Amino acid sequence: MKKMTTSLLHVRVLATIALTLVGGTLLTGCTADAAQNAVNGAVQGATNGDVSLGGALPSAWPAEVPVVEGKILFAAVQKGDKPGWTVTVKASAADPIAEATSSLTAAGFVAGGDVSATVGSAGLVSMKNDHYAVVVAGGPDGLLYTVTPVS
């Protein structure tokens, strides 16, 4: 009788694992949007801002701040007394930092002088114009833009 109970227990455990895996796979499509919405809501609540986990620049993104070509992976807007914008881009340029620097320079930005570094293929550059300060950090795979108004 003990062998039969042990075998039955093994069957139940295996069936539970199989159902969990199959059910989880089937529900993944349904829950991905819900998970993204939950994360968006949590970040928005914590930052008092708007958040997007991919797709497009925020609607309030300053038009005079160019962004390199690529896929927007994350975007956030900080509202309130200290507004700002953050965007992560999976860049398509061969040298994204050089491309970002070039496009910002063409748009009238100048080196901020505060921050600039290159280590291997990664880099960091700080630029500004009369309205915005922009810090761009990243490497061959992508960039993080942080934009704040100049006081």
Query: What one-character-per-residue DSSP string does 61-92 give?
Result: --TTS---SEEEEEEEEE-SSS-EEEEEEEE-
The phi and psi torsions of 107 (rounded to 5 degrees) equal -90, 5
Per-residue confidence of the chain (151 residues) as pLDDT tens digits?
544 444 444 444 434 443 344 434 334 444 445 544 444 454 445 445 556 566 789 878 999 999 999 999 999 998 888 889 999 999 998 899 999 999 999 999 999 766 666 667 788 999 999 999 999 999 888 999 999 999 8
- Give the whole-angstrom CA distance, residue 75 versus residue 115: 22
Global confidence as pTM: 0.65
Query: Which residue has tokens 């491309």?
Result: 99
